[in-house]
Structure 1
Amino acid sequence: MIGRIHAALRRVGLSPRYRGHLDALDLTGAHLRMEGWASHFRPHLTYDGAAVPVQVRQVVRPDLAGLGRGSEGWGFTLTADLPAQAPDIAKLALRLNRGCRVDARTHLALFTPQSEVEACAAAILAGDLQAGAADLVERSLSTRNPILPVRVGHALRAAGQAGAAEAVLRASLALPEVRPLARHALMTLVAAAGRLPEAVTLLDAARAEEGLGPGQAFPAALLYAGIGRFAEARALIREAGDPAVDEAAAQALEFVALLERFPAAEARRMLAELRARFRTASLAEIEADILAALAERRPYFLIRLGDGEGAWLRLSPEDEAEFAGIYRTNRREMLDFWFRDPALADDPRFHAAMDAFDAALLEADCIGAFSDAAIAHEYGAVSRRGVTWVVNTLRKALAMAEADPVRARGVAVRDLTVHYDLVLSGALARILQGRAAVGLITCHRDLAPALERHHGIGRVELIKIPGEQIHADALGADAAAGRHWPDRYEEICAQLGRGDRRGELWLVAAGLLGKIYGAALKRSGAVVIDIGAVADLWMGKGTRTFPDLPPALNPMTSLPMTSLPMTSLRA
């Protein structure tokens, strides 16, 4: 009954829906920088009561998944120049949306500068973790800043120091004022590490002590499902919302059903079967395959399938109907990331393009998507989009093997990071070196001359696309300009439908639609490598968590310094 009432209130706009949090703040002179998240984000910053202009960038936050529709896109970075050279933090106030306002008087701890938080984190790392964590908790009590240890825990986790973060967050459980926050952060940390039973123990304690807060029921239910407590998961979902009228509850039940049918053990079984039916190739073998195809002027296609592609894999009409809710949500999220247009999920023209994507998979000679690490990570995080990606790429590949077992035995399989592996090993540099001509599909105009100069290539033929819109700020105005779908897509398909490209090497960095381009290039005779975000890595654009790239392997280092964008000078 309560779930139905809440759902009805949400439909008419009366249920509370404004959420948000300030995660970090820092001041450098008069320059202010804030990080956080908010639904219905409409920032209004004031200093000493006067409005201050702000610049805002959206940040993808996978950790917010499950809080609401599109919650992974709720993250933000806000910057502003304050009207004082030595600003007083106590005069700051930020309205995140119509329902959330934070200021230094009512949320003093949130307004502790991030530089102080990071200094505390560095001090923890420099000494004994347990003693340092205990000292930090004692200091937070004496300064009446109990949330400081929780923020230090978040900072340590963001820096990749999971062990130190766990020590601080466990110590923070001794602070009653922030115990729910600390416990939730600790639950997220151990779940991400694949320690789901520990995460559920923390969840059980939270439910017994303070219950679940707004937006926590569905993520909690998925933790139960992640360790096989499916009945409890379903009961908790139904307590929070009526699936008959609450779309989020219905989708949560669908995901529980997916986890019950395809638990981690089944995913590992499918991975073992895939390795038996396909060709598990080493990096050296993949490099040799590419070089042989070029030498023999034989077409070849290396394709990668990430969670975006996984969202659009279609297995059968029955499967589409059974998991329609979570598939639709996954697809709308990715369409928003790529094109800022989730409504394309209902566009028949885009569905026709996805038929071409489906056909492109059959052209693959090497597929990067599969690994034990991916199963451990996605099931450990109980990620809706991640688990769906893992399960459906395996199911799709096995269906392909069933349809054509002879061809499957010749198709190489490797994990999703095959593009980074090719770059970091120097294999891609060796493949590119001294070529008379190379084709490139990317949003980065400056990459073509950089490749020519760095690898001694006679000519790079560039097909320019608009970049992923979720990363528009990081990519820059020129890279993000224009509409990839349908404008450039239709133009590029027409262009690639003509010509003989036997013996040509093409690098493709074009997201989901790039798989269609890659298949078209292969059909014209080309050797195609789906390099994905390697193009952003080369350009120094921070669109992913990238591996370190030695300058010798970065083509941008070969351009004159005056022509380099500042971001490309990063290692």
Structure 2
Amino acid sequence: MTGAGTGPADPRHAFADRAPARVTTALGPAGPPMMLRFGRDLSNAIEADHRISCILVARGSRSLARLAIGAFQAQTWPHRELVIVDDGDEGLAGHIEDLADRRIHLVRPGRRGRPSDALLERGIAEALGPFICRWDEDCLHDPLRLELQFRALAMQRATACVLARRGEWEPDSDRLMVSAPQPLDPSLLCRRSAMAPGGDGPGGAARAAVSQHRVVHLDLPQMLLAIAPAGQDARAGRSALTPDVAGSMRCRLPLAAFAAALREPLPAPSAASIEGSAATAVQAMREGRFEDAFDSWSLVIGRDGGSPADHAGRIAAQSRFCRPQATHASWRDLADRFPTAPEGPYGLGRSHLAAGRDGAARRAFEMALARAADHLPSRIELAILRVDQGQDLQAEDELLRLAALAPAEPRIARALAIAAMGRLDWPLALQRWQKAWDDFGAPSAPQRIAVCLATMGRTDEAWAVIEGVPGAIWDKPTRIRIKCRIGRLLHDFGAVLAALEADLELATADDELRDMLIEAWTNARRADQAADLAARFGIGRDPRHQERAIQALIAADRSAEADRHLLALATPAALHRTSPRLLRRILAVQRRHEGPTAARRALDAIVSSDDVTRTMRLSALFEGEFEESRAALEEGRPLPPALSRDSATFASASAWRAEIPRSWPGDPLRRAWDALRIVRHRSAGCLLDVSTNLAQAMTVADRIARAIATGQPLSVVRLGDGEGNFLPYADGEEPQRRLDQANIQQLWWGRHRLGEDDLGAIEQALAAAVRVADIVGIPDEYRLALALGRPEAASGEARGLLAVVEQFAGYAPAPTGGALFGPRQIITGSNFNNALAAWGLWEPLLGRIGACAVVTGRPDLAAALTTRFGLRVERTFAVPPEAKYLPPSTPGQHHYRDVYARTLEALATVRPGQVVLVAAGILGKIYCARIREAGGIAIDVGSVADGWCGHVTRRIDESATYGWTEDLAAAFARRPDLDAAFPALRPATGYQPARRT
């Protein structure tokens, strides 16, 4: 169906380059009639982002609807969509499916017989374009209609365009005429905001547009043809068409098909009665009748224009059955239409949240509060956002105030419980989740109650809670999913596998359970089963499923198949929606098969539309440099130069400034990079690039090895965000420091918090430890990218990292006692512990020393060191582990208050030259200083010790193996220049590298 007659192939009228027109405003005519000159090349005259949404209410014959669809497809204006609200039978759906036209969107109302105005409103709600056009099925539309009306609207900078007259046809006499001049509803094309809801009889929306906005009245009656109404009165004012216009219309419009369609019997309408009252709408919402609620709100708004709350109610109903993009556009229109009301920005914030745009949501809620400071829903959303972003202490006080104002709001109760979990106050979290369950029946409460119980060591009670939830709340798949999550939390992977294999048919039929089963089989070394299951159901579109399927294929030695899937995902659309881990795999395979340039190009092509994508891009850029450096070593090529700042991905960071919270002075990204440039300039032999530069990593390792060989005292420490929270902040941020310290203490020590005197003592001792350190690790550009790429979470983490680099650069005031850094120190990356693991350098470093001591909260570290390196652990200085990762070995014991002083005293007995591996958090830096003072060699290994014990508690590049591998050994054998340059790193005689498992 083309919608054209039997005329020439050129769709344009001979006279379509100009047309009579006049312009009106709310005050009357805006000037005399004019002649608009369009020019010959019309379709390219307007920018491509002006999409017109045509609304077709189909409630007549199927043939009429098909003609209207064909007329839409024949339009010359390229940027268009057709929203069909079908109130008839199911026959039209098959026709639309056969057309396979992605521009056509079919909407089926929940029940038949709704008023025409309600159906039109439903169509507008589903529309995505900023412009709306009526597309009635009982009219014929010329192929140029959209193009000429929009062109006229744009040329006159108008809000709407109507046809001053339309063509009319009498089928019995086959007469073509022109109607009397009047604005007619079927010809309306206008901005979305000008389409008045409701309407008042024929032409109501058009009359509303004409009376309130700047409107172009275009006198091209041949653009729209309707059946001429009968009766003497209807004929008044008509005139005959000129022969050339009439001939053109007969040639271009399918009159015979139109006449046949009009003769088809119409479907019998059903009775509809919708009371247009706010009370009716609210009741319909409560009962889940969202389309009825939408209709009621529409009628309320159509009568008197409606309040902001009425409009918000209608959009809230719309959101339950419309496309998210259409709902978002409606919220945006509401915010613009009522510039002092909070409902519009609040709705925009909720829409942003649903799309995962937390930063934009926060700004929208702040805008709502700027309009109405006491707007309770926006206050609630902002407090919940802070909880979700880990700002538990800031949010909790506000949530408690809100709970007093809105005690019946279940989301406040849920947020308070999550805040307690974030602070690792498990008893309080358990109490709050129990209250949320008892008071509101929150569906997520039983799972969280089980998590709290399991974390507190009350495992049997956790399993009992899961089994005791009624089936009406959790169906069988949900119960299995939650069992698997609790099993993973407890590291009881046998329980996970047992829960899934208890009903294999269900586990393979459910998408999420199938992903869990693939992962469980892969981890249980049943990779062939996992890979077969993944291959049977395909790689799909969900990144989590893709990630597990790829991992299963690799584990089953089907890497070539995995590579084919990964290369197929190296498109901008697929990369934009992928996960960080999968992105790294895709780019690694692309580098291997197509070269680094292709991977860089693919990375730069990702659209940075949100905070997550920006972070992912910049992180992948740095990891790509790491992979390229490693590949160069293994292939015997020269190591690549330092990271270039010229890439589009790196340059995209400059766009983050608008995303940074207002509480941040200046531009943190620029401050960070400026400070690091100073670090690299002032520090001779700066070794910040240990993750991407093997030579630098070997220099750090060789400096440690020389100290071990000579027995020279040494202190090696790393400074991250937690340590930065205990250093002076730059001007303007110092008031945040105590709050950041309180948050980081939750991670280290649970709910125990220190007083001012103790905090001051730690600050002074930390500064002194950094001054005497010989090798100091500070955050590099890569680490800062991870923190600053999440501007909505720019809190203690980012401020702590900046405090470290700005101390070196001199941007922040020095702590008591003077500057931290001196010229004798080696400055390296704070991730050097993981970098040495990734490069496989801990084995030659530790594999020859024979014996050591450890300061750790891991009771299994000694055995792990013996197994991995052949080390005999002479002494273990036991300290409580970080509360975030392990339950305290001695309940109630606090690291600083109960163990710190005793450990410092014990470390004074370390013998000169003894190697001590330290994994003890911020206090471990102070321990390193005491070990050096006693003549020992202190190495701050940090979280890499967790990896040696089989627990990954920090992020590390996937290529890290926590061990020397045969491929690296072979690479060293091919590079005698590197081996000769660092003789202290040669492994001890007879050392056998560990095999990758």
Quick check: TM above 0.5? yes
Between the aligned partners of 2:448 and 2:913, the Cα distance in structure 1 is 55
Contact 2:747 2:884 in 1 (8 A): yes
**Structure 2 residues without counterparts, runs of 5 or longer:** 1-369, 380-397, 417-428, 456-461, 483-509, 517-533, 547-564, 587-607, 620-651, 688-695, 966-994
Between the aligned partners of 1:38 and 1:132, the Cα distance in structure 2 is 44
The aligned counterpart of 2:602 is: none
1:114 to 512, 515, 524: 512
SS in 1 for 2:737: helix
- 2:787 aligned with 1:370: no
Distance 1:434 1:192, change over 3 A: closer
The aligned counterpart of 2:906 is: 495
Shift of 1:533: 0.4
Q: How does 1:125-144 map to 2 (within 5 A)?
A: 125=546, 126=565
- 2:738 aligned with 1:328: yes
Distance 1:4 1:495, change over 3 A: farther
Between the aligned partners of 1:395 and 1:406, the Cα distance in structure 2 is 11
The aligned counterpart of 2:920 is: 510
Distance 1:531 1:430, change over 3 A: same
- 2:579 aligned with 1:157: yes
Contact 1:337 1:469 in 2 (8 A): yes
The aligned counterpart of 2:943 is: 533
Q: TM-score, normalised by structure 1?
A: 0.59
Between the aligned partners of 2:808 and 2:571, the Cα distance in structure 1 is 51
Distance 1:193 1:503, change over 3 A: same
Shift of 1:471: 1.0
Contact 1:441 1:465 in 2 (8 A): yes
> What CA deviation, in whole Å up to 9, does each residue of 1:134-164 have, x standing for no partner?
9xxxxxxxxxxxxxxxxx998x526534899
Q: How does 1:371-386 map to 2 (within 5 A)?
A: 371-382=780-791, 383-386=794-797
The aligned counterpart of 1:302 is: 716
1:11 to 401, 418, 424: 401
Contact 1:278 1:410 in 2 (8 A): no
Distance 1:121 1:481, change over 3 A: farther
Shift of 1:427: 2.5
Q: How does 1:28-427 map to 2 (within 5 A)?
A: 41-42=433-434, 44=437, 55-56=450-451, 81-82=466-467, 88-89=476-477, 114-115=512-513, 122-124=539-541, 125=546, 126=565, 156-157=578-579, 159-161=581-583, 187-193=610-616, 227-229=656-658, 253-254=662-663, 256-257=664-665, 260=666, 262-279=667-684, 280-281=686-687, 282-315=696-729, 319=731, 322-341=732-751, 343-344=753-754, 346-382=755-791, 383-399=794-810, 408-427=822-841
The aligned counterpart of 1:448 is: 862
Shift of 1:187: 2.4
RMSD: 5.0
Shift of 1:293: 1.6
SS in 2 for 1:123: coil
Shift of 1:224: 12
> What CA deviation, in whole Å up to 9, does each residue of 1:61-109 have, x standing for no partner?
xxxxxxxxxxxxxxxxx87653699963589999xxxxxxxxxxxxxxx
Shift of 1:349: 1.7
- Give the AA of the match of 1:411: Q
Between the aligned partners of 1:348 and 1:487, the Cα distance in structure 2 is 16
Shift of 1:286: 1.3
The aligned counterpart of 1:169 is: none
Between the aligned partners of 1:326 and 1:358, the Cα distance in structure 2 is 19
Between the aligned partners of 2:726 and 2:762, the Cα distance in structure 1 is 11
Distance 1:469 1:343, change over 3 A: same
Shift of 1:484: 1.4
Shift of 1:543: 1.9
**Structure 1 residues without counterparts, runs of 5 or longer:** 22-36, 61-77, 95-111, 135-151, 165-184, 197-222, 234-251, 555-568
The aligned counterpart of 2:878 is: 464
Between the aligned partners of 2:709 and 2:742, the Cα distance in structure 1 is 42
Between the aligned partners of 1:515 and 1:265, the Cα distance in structure 2 is 29
- Give the AA of the match of 1:11: R
Distance 1:56 1:186, change over 3 A: farther
For these two proteins, the number of residue pairs brought into alignment is 411
SS in 1 for 2:772: coil
Between the aligned partners of 1:3 and 1:553, the Cα distance in structure 2 is 59
Between the aligned partners of 1:431 and 1:348, the Cα distance in structure 2 is 40
> What CA deviation, in whole Å up to 9, does each residue of 1:485-510 have, x standing for no partner?
211112102222x3353211111000
Between the aligned partners of 2:757 and 2:703, the Cα distance in structure 1 is 38
> What CA deviation, in whole Å up to 9, does each residue of 1:326-379 have, x standing for no partner?
3233212210011113632x4422321221112111122112223222233322
Contact 1:401 1:407 in 2 (8 A): no
Share of identical aligned residues, percent? Answer: 20
- Give the AA of the match of 2:769: A
Distance 1:90 1:443, change over 3 A: closer
Between the aligned partners of 2:882 and 2:760, the Cα distance in structure 1 is 19
1:486 to 891, 894, 897: 897
Shift of 1:294: 2.1
The aligned counterpart of 1:428 is: 842
- Give the AA of the match of 2:668: P
Between the aligned partners of 1:335 and 1:458, the Cα distance in structure 2 is 33
- Give the AA of the match of 1:536: D
Between the aligned partners of 1:224 and 1:277, the Cα distance in structure 2 is 25
Shift of 1:425: 2.7
Distance 1:408 1:92, change over 3 A: closer
- Give the AA of the match of 1:191: R
Contact 1:226 1:379 in 2 (8 A): no
Between the aligned partners of 1:10 and 1:368, the Cα distance in structure 2 is 41
SS in 2 for 1:461: strand
Between the aligned partners of 2:878 and 2:905, the Cα distance in structure 1 is 14
Shift of 1:545: 2.8
Contact 1:47 1:92 in 2 (8 A): no
Distance 1:162 1:315, change over 3 A: closer
Contact 2:808 2:820 in 1 (8 A): no
The aligned counterpart of 2:646 is: none
SS in 1 for 2:876: strand
- Give the AA of the match of 1:114: E
Distance 1:479 1:292, change over 3 A: farther
Between the aligned partners of 2:915 and 2:856, the Cα distance in structure 1 is 14
- Give the AA of the match of 1:297: G
Deviates more, 1:506-515 or 1:5-14: 5-14
Between the aligned partners of 1:4 and 1:91, the Cα distance in structure 2 is 41
Shift of 1:47: 13
Between the aligned partners of 1:430 and 1:5, the Cα distance in structure 2 is 63
Distance 1:359 1:113, change over 3 A: same
The aligned counterpart of 1:560 is: none
Between the aligned partners of 2:679 and 2:889, the Cα distance in structure 1 is 41
Between the aligned partners of 2:447 and 2:746, the Cα distance in structure 1 is 29
Contact 1:468 1:480 in 2 (8 A): no
Contact 1:305 1:369 in 2 (8 A): yes
SS in 1 for 2:858: coil
